[in-house]
């Protein structure tokens, strides 16, 4: 499993993912790739949505027969058929009605998908969430009340550096630059210098410096290096539900 992703947690149904209390919207996610499935589910849950997962189109259709969903998010290339074919079959059976759908794909010319329903890979998490929010905002009901839930999210970060090395100085500069794009009230950052305390990294199992550790919310994740790749750190923050500054 890729770093930063969480294991699916079982509830009363094997397909259910644990979601925050009083979730206003339920999303069906049909994705056969485990890492992508867990990443998308985690991101959506971080925004307060309830997520039910399916790994095959047959399972997705079966779940649509059981209950109504507010949105379907499906990978374009599913085992045995494409997402548009699955959605067409579900619509023909009267299972979708007015339920909107988003199709995730890296295919250069996906067939049977309207442009506004496409989510392009590589996945831009911020844009993806904006697409989801636009769908709900344009519906008959109000958009999900996510502001209170998002404001409650606090991400705890620990940066381990060694003041002797220039890469550690770069890591601090890059991290501060990235965090300036986010709501700092949702981020708690502690910096530990192993030059002053060689045992500082033991609790977080840090071997190399510089290393950034996302301690909470779980799962714990490590990013080694000078943090010059903004996308890695931003993905951790986005997946944890930290709001970007306007």
Helices (H), 93-199: 125-137, 147-151, 166-179
Q: Hey, is 28 helix, strand or coil?
A: strand
Q: Hey, is 235 helix, strand or coil?
A: helix
CB 15 within 8 A of CB 52: yes
What pLDDT, on the 0 to 100 scale, is given for residue 153? Answer: 66
Q: Cβ of 167: how many Cβ atoms within 10 Å?
A: 15
What pLDDT, on the 0 to 100 scale, is given for residue 74? Answer: 96
pLDDT band at 11 (very low <50, low <70, confident <90, very high): very low
What pLDDT, on the 0 to 100 scale, is given for residue 226? Answer: 94
Mean pLDDT, rounded, of the chain: 82
Mean pLDDT, residues 66-83 taken together: 92
Q: Is the pLDDT of residue 10 over 80?
A: no
Mean pLDDT, residues 47-71 taken together: 90
Q: Is the pLDDT of residue 232 over 80?
A: yes
CB 163 within 8 A of CB 195: yes
Mean pLDDT, residues 229-245 taken together: 88
Lowest mean pLDDT across 6-10, 118-122, 171-175: 6-10
pTM of the model: 0.52
What pLDDT, on the 0 to 100 scale, is given for residue 152? Answer: 46
How far from chain centre, in Å, is Cα 184?
A: 19
Mean pLDDT, residues 89-108 taken together: 90
Q: Is the pLDDT of residue 158 over 80?
A: yes
Strands (E) across 7-154 are located at 26-30, 50-54, 71-75, 77-78, 81-82, 101-105, 118-120
Mean pLDDT, residues 221-232 taken together: 91
User: Which residue bears the tokens 């080694």?
Assistant: 224
Q: Cβ of 115: how many Cβ atoms within 10 Å?
A: 6
Q: How far separated are the first and last CA of the chain, in Å rounded?
A: 33
What pLDDT, on the 0 to 100 scale, is given for residue 23? Answer: 40
Mean pLDDT, residues 191-212 taken together: 91
User: Which residue bears the tokens 């209170």?
Assistant: 148
Mean pLDDT, residues 17-27 taken together: 55
Rounded Cα distance between 167 and 208, Å, is 11
Question: What does the angle CA 54 – CA 56 – CA 60 come to, to the nearest 5 degrees?
Answer: 50
List of domains in the chain: 26-147 (3.40.50.2300), 153-239 (3.40.30.10)
Mean pLDDT, residues 96-119 taken together: 88
What pLDDT, on the 0 to 100 scale, is given for residue 139? Answer: 61
């Amino acid at each position: 499993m890729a770093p930063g992703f969480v294991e699916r947690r079982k509830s009363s149904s094997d397909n259910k993912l644990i979601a925050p209390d009083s979730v206003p919207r339920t999303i069906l996610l049909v994705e056969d790739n485990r890492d992508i499935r867990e990443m998308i589910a985690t991101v959506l849950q971080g925004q307060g949505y309830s997520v039910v997962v399916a790994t095959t189109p047959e399972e997705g259709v079966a779940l649509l027969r059981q209950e109504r969903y507010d949105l379907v998010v499906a990978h374009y290339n599913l085992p045995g058929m494409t997402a548009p074919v699955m959605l067409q079959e579900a619509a023909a059976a009267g299972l979708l009605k007015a339920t909107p759908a988003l199709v995730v794909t890296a295919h250069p010319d996906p067939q049977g998908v309207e442009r506004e329903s496409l989510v392009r890979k590589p996945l831009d998490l911020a844009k993806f969430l904006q697409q989801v929010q636009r769908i709900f905002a344009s519906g008959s009901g109000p958009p999900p009340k996510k502001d209170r839930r998002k404001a409650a999210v606090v991400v705890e970060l620990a940066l381990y550096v060694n003041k002797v090395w220039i890469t550690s100085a770069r890591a601090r500069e890059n991290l501060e630059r990235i965090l300036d794009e986010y709501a700092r009230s949702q981020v708690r950052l502690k910096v530990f210098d192993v030059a002053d305390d060689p045992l500082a990294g033991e609790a977080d199992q840090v071997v190399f410096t510089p290393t950034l550790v996302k301690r909470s919310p779980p799962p714990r994740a490590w990013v080694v290096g000078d943090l010059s790749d903004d996308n890695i750190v931003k993905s951790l923050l986005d997946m944890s539900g930290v709001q970007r500054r306007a």
